[in-house]
A = this chain, B = another copy of it.
């Protein structure tokens, strides 16, 4: 998945997420971008869809929010399964990848002949500071 040149809206949404400390809901992003001409949710959702497709943004299913991918390198290759810890206190999200879990899940899904398309692993709790 090569990363093409981003459009204006995509760039605005990406910047908003990148400069945010933690995850943001689509509507929070919308509010942040009103000064830049954003008026409707669809403008945000359409940009988010593309950014997810490019692997630059992740959706956190358990909190209906979006976060910039923390991988420093480009997004030209698949990262495999992505997992997150999400702190209920400060909202901090940590992204991580683990080959062992990926292998194990692969084994288990293969055993039931299940064809995986998207894997969600989200761990909610409290980080060191907020424990």
Residues of A within 8 A of B (CB): 61-62, 83, 85, 87-88, 94, 96, 98, 100-101, 104-105, 108-109, 112-128, 131
Contacts and interface: CB of A to CB of B under 8 A. Distances in A.
Nearest to A130: B115
Contacts of A100: 100, 104
A125 B120 contact: no
User: When A and B form their complex, which 4 residue pairs have the shortest distance between CB atoms, in order from nearest?
Assistant: A113-B128, A117-B125, A116-B125, A61-B62
Q: In the assembly, how many copies of this chain are there? A: 2
26 contacts: A61-B62, A85-B112, A85-B114, A87-B114, A94-B112, A94-B114, A96-B108, A98-B104, A100-B104, A101-B101, A101-B104, A101-B105, A104-B104, A113-B127, A113-B131, A114-B123, A114-B126, A114-B127, A114-B128, A115-B126, A115-B131, A116-B123, A119-B121, A119-B123, A120-B120, A120-B124
A131 B121 CA distance: 23
Contacts of A125: 109, 114-118
